[in-house]
Structures are given as C-alpha cells and as structure tokens.
C-alpha cells in the first residue's frame, strides 16, 4: 500500500456532540469535509485558498447535514457525496451518488466507499488509507444505535462485524459523535474496551444491543 500525505482537523459541536472533519491533501491543498454538522463559521478559517471541493455525507440524519446550506452557498462548486439509494433531498448544486466499493479522489487522496447500513439505510463509512470515517455506524466504545424506524440491527451487525472488522486492526476510526472516552481509536483498541464489539455471533449481538438500550444513560 502506498500512503498519501494529509491532515485531519476535527470540529466538535452541532446538535449532539457531533464531529465534522476537514481533511487536506498536503500535496495539492485540496480539501474535503466529512459531514456538515457544525456551522461554516467554526471551520472557515481552516479552509485554504483552494477551497472545499467535496462534502462526504456519512448518512442523512438531520444533524449530519444541518449546515449544508452554508457550505453550498460559500462553495457553489462543492460536490456532495451521498449513498445511491438515499431518498433524502439534499440541497446542493452538485450531488454524486455512490455505491459500495466506489473510489472518490480529492487531490491525490483516494477515498473508498463502504456501504454500512444498520443505523440508517444510507449509512456510508469512508476509508482513507488506514483512517475510517464511521459516521453513526461505529463510535468509540460502541456501535451506533438501531432504535430508529429505518434502523436494522442485523444489518448493523453485518456492517460492523463483517465489513468494518475485515479491515486491518490498526485502522483508526473517526466517528460522527464524540460519545466515548476519547475522540478516535484503533479498531483493535475499540474492540478491547467495548462489550458491543465482542459479540459471539449475530444473535449475541442483538442481545447485547438490547441490554445496552435497557441500561444506557441519555447522552452516552
């Protein structure tokens, strides 16, 4: 594998301890954003002369696209990336619908699309070298929840255990919310600290999710 040179800056805020990420290709200065969960105001001083060219949406729950209008207005050529079967109306000038396995280039960076339904049908994780932007599919310390009416706990199991866990264990996740003891973590460290990531099989995962929902404290 050849590695590229980039920087990642994280921004906390939004509706519920959301995280938005600004990624810069150090060779071309091109930049992309993962989610639009915080106002442009908090990100704008880190956007360089080349401007934002791509906005990757991890899923279309309202908190993750809350400030999209501000970004589209400031960067009219911004291309928004969303899953192909998403039925949400996204307000932007350019939209690119993607599917599992697609590669999107930003400058010299290549971002691979992993479709990871479960928390929500149009959930996508974005892989950049050994960094995985996980949205609400996987947090530090646990998986995303499956209590919404479009959620599916069996699909989440497959997305997490079969798709994400097949990546190298050193892969570092950058989630969509800051719910854990730290902001990002490697897959192997995350598995070591989380009962929800230690299920024996699909049925055991469903039981563990039920147990989690019964005992969870709001905001955790």
Binding site for Fe ion (CB under 5 A): 61, 136
CB of 1 to Fe ion, least distance (A): 31
Nearer to Fe ion, 78 or 122 (CB): 122
CB of 219 to Fe ion, least distance (A): 15
CB of 110 to Fe ion, least distance (A): 26
Nearer to Fe ion, 134 or 171 (CB): 134
CB 134 within 8 A of CB 125: yes
Distances (CA, A) of 115 to 94, 100, 130, 171, 216: 21, 5, 17, 17, 27
Nearer to Fe ion, 107 or 121 (CB): 121
Nearer to Fe ion, 61 or 109 (CB): 61
Residues 6+ apart with CB under 8 A from 39: 13, 67, 70
Pairing of strands 31-34, 52-56: parallel
Nearer to Fe ion, 107 or 135 (CB): 135
CB of 100 to Fe ion, least distance (A): 19
CB of 81 to Fe ion, least distance (A): 17
Nearer to Fe ion, 16 or 203 (CB): 16
CB of 21 to Fe ion, least distance (A): 16
């Amino acid at each position: 594998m050849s590695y590229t040179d980039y920087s990642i800056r994280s921004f906390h805020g939004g509706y519920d301890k959301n995280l938005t990420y600004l990624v810069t290709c150090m060779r071309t200065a091109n930049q992309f954003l993962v989610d639009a969960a915080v106002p442009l105001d908090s990100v704008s001083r880190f956007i360089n002369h080349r401007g934002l060219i791509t906005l990757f949406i991890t899923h279309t729950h309202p908190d993750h696209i809350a400030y999209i209008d501000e970004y589209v207005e400031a960067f009219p050529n911004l291309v928004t990336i969303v899953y192909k079967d998403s039925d949400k109306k996204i307000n932007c000038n350019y939209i690119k619908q993607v599917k599992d396995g697609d590669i999107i280039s930003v400058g010299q960076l290549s971002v691979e699309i992993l479709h990871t339904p479960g928390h929500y049908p149009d959930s996508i994780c974005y892989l950049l070298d050994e960094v995985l932007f996980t949205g609400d599919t996987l947090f530090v310390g646990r998986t995303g929840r499956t209590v919404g009416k479009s959620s599916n706990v069996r699909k989440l199991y497959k997305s997490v255990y079969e798709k994400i866990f097949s990546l190298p264990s050193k892969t570092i996740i950058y989630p969509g919310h800051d719910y854990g003891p730290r902001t990002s973590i490697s897959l192997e460290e995350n598995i070591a600290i989380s009962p929800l990531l230690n299920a024996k099989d699909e049925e055991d995962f469903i039981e563990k999710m039920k147990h989690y929902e019964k005992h969870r404290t709001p905001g955790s």
